[in-house]
Structure 1
Amino acid sequence: MAEMNTGSSDRGHQKGTRSKKLSTRVDMTPMVDLGFLLITFFMLTTTMSQPKVMKLLMPAVPKDNERPNVISESKSLTILLGANNSVSYYEGIGNDPLHPPVVKHTTFANNNGIRDIIINKRDEVIKVHGRDDLTVLIKADKSANYKNVVDIMDEMLINHVERYAMVDITPEDEAYLK
């Protein structure tokens, strides 16, 4: 531990008394050992941050002689993301050329924005079908920015939309954005 050297040096016998000077030497080995033990303890007991990932559910692959899953027009909402932070939407899938969809424009605003559209559509689906089967199709144009895609994904999480998909935009949908 601590060591005290009390060696006296007799250089000569002089008359008078001189104070004895003692040299002190403190052994730091136990302090270093304690430091390493503490570092090791905190490294082993800390929890590492978990990677943050988004849960992705893919549709089941249809088996032979089985029709693929079809999305109902009355349970779906299509959101189009375009240039300059533009957000458009229409109800349904929009794949019927005889009855083109009615495209409406909105924003990411908190009031009267896309959040209210999603909430109203979900309420309508629950009212008509008796349960929450809302499916949202998100289609981003090439000129849409990444921030808008992240914002719309956040809206899906905020509104607890369980079924949504990022889908390739069709030429018809691109024409709706212009």
Structure 2
Amino acid sequence: MQNLPKKVRSKKLSTRVDLTAMVSVSFLLIIFFMVVGELSKPKVMEFGRPDCIDEDYHRVCNMPDERRIMTLLLDDKNRIITYTGLLFVPIDGPKEIEYGKSGIRKELLERNKKVLEYSAALGKPGRGLTAVIKPSKKSNYGNLVDILDEMKIIGINSYAIVNDFTPEETKLLASK
């Protein structure tokens, strides 16, 4: 017999698919969507609310503790006018104070010390001064930064920057 060439058969490839890469990609996608889902949730900041009993809420809780409030009116020419309490019944009347260690810092330290003693006597220790900073349109940005630096130096954590003046405060700024 004759040597016939052997029939060449094609090599059968394995039909098995390696899914290792697919598993890795799917785990990465799962982790990605878990992180995105967690980061997209709205973050809520706790807002300090007064400790009130429900029966006294409208009578007591809506009233500010004016002994803890000090208002700082910032005006042009590096002027600061401060008063403690409410302007129509102030605890410490309006007075003009200078910037610096012997001026506003000294005043804030003394007032904060009084407020801390007052809060401790009420059984709520650690509740210090609340500063309301009101820069006028004539004040400059540097003055606001200086006041914020003083808040940080003294350790007053409760302050607000407000830009609306009452008519009485506007008259007070115009008169001094």
TM-score tier (shorter):
0.5 to 0.7
**Counterpart pick for 2:134 among 132, 139, 145:** 139
Which digits, 9 at most, give the CA deviation of each residue in 1:120-161, with x for residues without a partner?
A: 011101122212321111111111111101111111111111
- 2:117 pairs with 1:117: no
1:127 paired residue number: 117
Aligned-partner Cα distance in 2 for 1:159–1:73: 20
Match of 1:80 among 58, 73, 79: 73
The equivalences for 1:1-178 within 5 A come to 67=58, 69-94=62-87, 96=89, 102-110=93-101, 112-130=102-120, 131-133=125-127, 134-167=129-162, 168-178=164-174
* Structure 2 Cα separation of the partners of residues 114 and 101 of structure 1: 14
Q: 1:21-65, CA deviations, whole angstroms, 9 ceiling, x for partnerless residues?
A: xxxxxxxxxxxxxxxxxxxxxxxxxxxxxxxxxxx97667xxxxx
In the TM superposition, what is the alpha-carbon distance from 1:171 to its structure 2 partner?
A: 2.1
When Rg is computed on C-alpha atoms for both structures, the one with the higher figure is 1
More helix per residue: 2
Matched residue count: 116
Residues 99-132 of structure 1 deviation map (CA, whole Å, 9 limit, x = unaligned): 696210111122x211111110111011222123
Conservation of the 8 A alpha-carbon contact between 1:122 and 1:132 = no
CA-based RMSD of the aligned residues comes to 2.5
Alignment TM-score, normalising by the size of structure 1: 0.57
Instruction: Determine helix, strand or coil for the equivalent of 2:108.
Output: helix
Paired with 2:46 and 2:157, the residues of 1 have a C-alpha distance of 10
The worse-fitting range, judged by mean Cα deviation, of 125-134 and 113-122 is 125-134
State the TM-score, normalized to the length of structure 2. Answer: 0.57
**Cα 1:160/1:100, change in 2 over 3 Å:** closer
Asked if 1 retains the 8 angstrom alpha-carbon contact of 2:83 and 2:91, the reply is: no
Structure 1, unaligned runs of 5 or more: 1-55, 61-65
Counterparts of 1:72 and 1:152 in 2: how far apart (Å)?
Answer: 22
Q: Percent identity?
A: 31
SS at match of 1:177: helix
